[in-house]
Amino acid sequence: MYSTEAKKDIQQGIQAGPFDANWESLKGYTIPRWYEDAKFGIFIHWGVYAVPGFGNEWYPRNMYLQDSPEFKHHLATYGPQKQSGYKDLIAQFSADKFDPDAWANLFRQAGAQFVVPVAEHHDGFALYDCSFSEWNAVKMGPKRDIIGELAEAVRKQWLVFGLSSHRAEHWWFFNGGMAFDSDVQDPRFIGLYGPAQPETLPPNEEFLDDWLARTCELVDKYQPQIVWFDWWIEQPAFSPYLQQFAAYYYNRAAQWQRGVAVNYKHQAFPEEAAVYDIERGQLSTIRQRFWQTDTSLSKNSWGYVKNQEYKTVEAVIGDLVDIVSKNGALLLNIGPRPDGTIPEAEEKMLLEIGRWLRVNGEAIYGTRPWTIFGEGPTHIENGSFTDTHRTNFTSQDIRFTVRGDVLYAIILAWPDNGRVTIKSLANDSNIFGKQIEKVALLGQQEEVQWKHDAAGLTIELPSQKPCEHAFVLKISAQK
């Protein structure tokens, strides 16, 4: 539980400036250059919910909802929730094979530039050295500071470290356990199960003070350069606390002399004060202000489950390209097992993404949107929860990025006839006010043949693909 000393320290941090705890001041925030350049990061949902490996990462809530498959599974597998509740799974969250250096090395090989583990999910079990609760991974389960170890390992690989907090949703997350005789109602376990209040009831001052103290402690202990929040912070009761947190965080970052960012969903922040994030979805066109998609390699769960349904690498790379062409970044999630191993399928997919980026990364990292994001028949729906049922991109789907005086045209599928025409570059158009001088295919040593006429820029591709998945044409203008 928070203390008056914690509140005093937070207020001193806010008073230190340069930001004040109001939206007008926070609108002066600047998105760091490193973030706009990085484009690709790794999200990690790992916690006690990996132990059952059933349903999804909302298992701890659903196992107390009496009509759910998780409730029935838990009863059949572990016994009644009164005697064998979520708390009793913590001992099996061993992390005995957790190797943070191996994780960080994999993320670097995948081409990621930043890493965002979940520090605390809705379940109330902190993966860090939390001063405000004994229900944490340092004192129980792994008996390791997961977040601290990972922060050190990630930084050794020259990657940027961030973290996420889903503490806000804990207000109501276990309220199903109040509807029948379960261990949620035992006052000995309130530190884990929390208020267990109805979702319709706004959080009270005590909970909000505790939320602020915990979140500021994460900032001070681990100096993350991204703090990602889930959706429930949009509740009006959080607004003054969000302003206090953002001022505290941005002021601490000014002392560290590091660029940082808060990720938010929907309208929890004014857009000038933080970085907008869309869950499992995208935008249909360019957003002038930098933004982010968070999504997962899997379709059905963010955390580890035994029957995971995966996307294809082709689909993930297509989404990365589309997002970057619209001034966004991709935060791509994995779900490790309870012992700390990353599922082989996920490791394989990450390495494949990394191989693609080693060939084509110059069209991704450090780029900015062009005048238009692209062309082609595939429509991307605007908004969240749209990326698990999308049709594949075609060879007519092309996305653009720019770096200096170079335009990159990224072809999202290899054409059957070996030829591609970029209609947006018809000969009555030019790039950067100049004529096209050279066209190259990344990963290909030989020059490609091309012509520029009223139909567009037509390129004859070689018989051999330079890589799998999307293909990048580097188009240079005359000096």
pLDDT (tens digit, 9 = 90+) per residue, 36-60? 999 999 999 999 999 999 999 999 9
Grade residue 2 by pLDDT with cuts at 50, 70 and 90.
low
pLDDT, position 3: 67
Mean pLDDT (the chain, rounded): 96
pTM over 0.95: yes
Percent of the chain predicted with pLDDT > 70: 99
Give me the residue label for tokens 């963010």: 302
User: Is residue 59 within 8 Å of 92, Cβ to Cβ?
Assistant: no
pLDDT, position 474: 98
Q: Is the pLDDT of residue 310 over 70?
A: yes
Q: How large is the average pLDDT for residues 181-204?
A: 97
Backbone angles phi, psi at 107, to 5 degrees: -65, -40
How many DSSP H helices and E strands does the chain contain? 12, 17
CA distance 130 to 217: 8
Give me the residue label for tokens 């937070």: 10
CA distance 307 to 177: 26
**Cα-to-chain-centroid distance, residue 293:** 7
Peptide bond into 336 cis (omega under 30): no
Grade residue 389 by pLDDT with cuts at 50, 70 and 90.
low
CA distance 310 to 307: 10
User: Is residue 364 within 8 Å of 330, Cβ to Cβ?
Assistant: no
Write the Ramachandran bin of 418: left for phi over 0, alpha for psi from -120 to 50, otherwise beta: left
Q: Is the pLDDT of residue 434 over 90?
A: no
> Which spans in 327-437 are helix H?
344-360
Q: Which domains does the chain have, with CATH numbers?
A: 4-279 (3.20.20.80), 374-477 (2.60.40.1180)
Residue whose C-alpha is closest to residue 52's, from 35, 30, 75? 75
Residue whose C-alpha is closest to residue 407's, from 452, 451, 374, 359? 374
Question: At 108, which helix (H) or strand (E)?
Answer: helix 100-109
Residue whose C-alpha is closest to residue 171's, from 217, 130, 123, 134? 123
CA distance 248 to 22: 11
| Position with higher pLDDT, 323 vs 384 | 323
Grade residue 30 by pLDDT with cuts at 50, 70 and 90.
very high
CA distance 263 to 467: 33
Grade residue 427 by pLDDT with cuts at 50, 70 and 90.
confident
Question: At 101, which helix (H) or strand (E)?
Answer: helix 100-109
